[in-house]
Structure 1
Amino acid sequence: MKLRHFISLHDLTSSELRQLLNRAIELKNTRNPDFQPLKGKVLAMIFEKSSTRTRISFETGMIQLGGNALFLSPRDTQLGRGEPLRDSAKVISSMVDGIMMRTNKHETVTTFAEHSRVPVINGLTDLMHPCQLLADMQTFFEHRGDIEGKTVAWIGDGNNMCHSYIEAASILNFKLHLACPEGYKPDSCFVNSASASINFFDTAQQAAEGCDLVVTDVWASMGQEEEQKQRVLAFKDYQVTQSVMSAAKKEALFMHCLPAHRGEEVAEEVIDGPNSVIFDEAENRLHAQKALLELLMSGN
């Protein structure tokens, strides 16, 4: 089997991404304990950043598919003691069947992939969060069907999640409305590569107008806590309120990758409201990643 990595959504074609999302839905709806395509296989999970959803979903996914998962942190390995990444990649990949990394620098994942003999999965970097997008898109497909031709509003920080939404828009052919404060817009390389799919708006209300999906994220991500006060001031007009949701279509969904700061980036009445699908979205990390693990590691 040809070695494949999942570093960004662009590692899948549009057709492959849709097939993977449909497979995730199938795996969710037909849970079979006897289906073990990864029996005897091991996934190394390398965490530089702590996590709830990423660790539980990948570990549970491997177990449900018949395999096992190893949790590795810099405190417990040579990764935090100066060993060159290429050496770590060569050693670790000689002993396991796949590697999932949740790291700070995106270069850490790309370097591992360059020197690994097994598939490497980007569980999150400072630049992208493609696994979360798999779950988000699966959730939309389940509730509303294919997202092609729809319109999505991203409100808030132009961060790693925003970057992956930009990639998803170009691959799955939906329109993306962006409302980000000055100084917090997405990286220009992402914007330039998908300019036909995205539009910028000055306010959250304008961005949400007529949308099928409204998405946001925390104002200060992990590692940005020192910027909290500055970011609260910059983002104070970018909260997803009921007024913002009212500008979207009546049946528009609301998503958030969690954990959420209720009353900050999203109002309590929105996140707990009838349009919110945040817990379906969170659960779908498990099913979307099972489909991904099957694709990359099963040999089929």
Structure 2
Amino acid sequence: MVLATDGSDNAVRAADHALYLADAFDANLHVVSAAGVPEGTLARLADSVRASTAVEAEEAVGAVTRKALVTGTPTTTAVIDGPPARVVVEAGRDADLLVVGRHGHTGVGRFLVGSVTERVLDDPPTATLVVPAEADTEPAYETIALLADDSPAGRTAATTAITIARATGAKLDPLAVVDNRFSDAPGLRRALEGEARGLIKEIAVEAARGVVESTGTVRTGVPAAELLDYIDEVGADLVVVGSDASRSLDRHVATSVARRVVRRASVPVLVVSKPTGAR
């Protein structure tokens, strides 16, 4: 498990959730922070900026290490010189989970976690948990919302959500949305609603095998908007969504479903990519 941090308040919140999940899965946590010179920095200032960001990065990973000592989480750290998006993506490639804060607004010259999160989500190196500033400081996942979707990423997201629910003792609440922008014909809409109900049942069966309680519902509307409403209705502590979560949309539009939820949700959002080799 990898946590990317810049020491901002939002990154500290991300650390709380990374430590919570590391404890739930008895996992090691690798903490990384990027140090280097931001694009556009004047050449004459490069050395001083690099030194400053290196110090701040060391302080950021050190703060997480101190938290980990309290929780007893095995932790390693690394401060890496390079563009933050590249540093974060490379660090996450061999991880089962990458954890980042949604925003990291700090002083001039700092590499902001939030500024690279969108770039990381362009092509997530692994399952990526994006934690907003509003997230609980003492996480305890009791309800997990899932955007149910019959795509490779959607199937992987469902399995991942069930795995987390089993580890944390949470209930799973999947939501399948028939996109009304692409299903105007009554016959097509009925067919898609039938498929969606079938998918909810399949997820419930898979969840039951893992001794996880799963209910669910089917709605018609715009997927991101419906999911955001659903999060509030069920009181979700975590949301899981596939990175191309919509059968009816092309990849770029579908990825925007995950992006919109990440930007607006007040709880952590786990963005899951399709498995390697899936089409």
TM over 0.5: no
TM-score, length basis structure 2: 0.36
TM-score, length basis structure 1: 0.34
Higher strand share: 2
